[in-house]
Amino acid sequence: MQVRLANQKQSTLICVVQYIVMLIQRHSYYLAFLCDLLCPVKNKHNDKWTRQAVKFVKCTMLEHDLDYAKLADKLNEMGVLTDQGVVFTGPALRTKVNYGRFSFTFILQLAAAVGAEVDLKMLK
C-alpha cells in the first residue's frame, strides 16, 4: 500500500512539473508568476526597485535553466570580473543577487551572457 501511494505521489509530482514546463514554454507571463513561487524575493529589500531587479535576475536564470555556478561560468567566459577584480563564483553570485547588490551593468552582462533581452517597458 505504501509503495502504491509513493508511486502515485511521484506520478502526480511529475505531472505538475510537466504542466509547469508547458506553461513556461507557452506563456512568458506565467514565468514571472512561477518565479515568485519558486524563487521568492525576501522581505529584506525595502526598495521596490531593488526587489524588481532581484526578481529580473532570478527569473532570467530560471528561464534559461541556470544555477549560480553555471551563471558564474558564463560570466567568467565573457571575461566579466567582480567589483574587486576577481572572477565570479557561484556562492559570490548568490550573495550578490540575494542582497540586491548589483548595478545595471551587471544586469546587462547577465543578459549578454545568456542571450536574454532587457525589456524596460515592464517596469512600473
pLDDT of residue 98: 85
Q: What is the pLDDT of residues 63-102, one digit of tens each?
A: 888 889 999 999 999 888 777 778 888 898 988 888 888 8
Please determine, for residue 24, whether its predicted confidence score (pLDDT) is greater than 80. no
Please determine, for residue 20, whether its predicted confidence score (pLDDT) is greater than 60. yes
Please determine, for residue 2, whether its predicted confidence score (pLDDT) is greater than 50. no
Question: What is the C-alpha separation between 93 and 71, in angstroms, rounded?
Answer: 8
Q: pLDDT-derived band of residue 1, with 50, 70 and 90 as boundaries?
A: very low
Please determine, for residue 3, whether its predicted confidence score (pLDDT) is greater than 50. no
Q: What is the pLDDT of residues 25-62, one digit of tens each?
A: 555 545 555 555 555 555 555 677 888 888 888 888 88
Give the residue extent of every domain in the chain: 1-38, 39-116
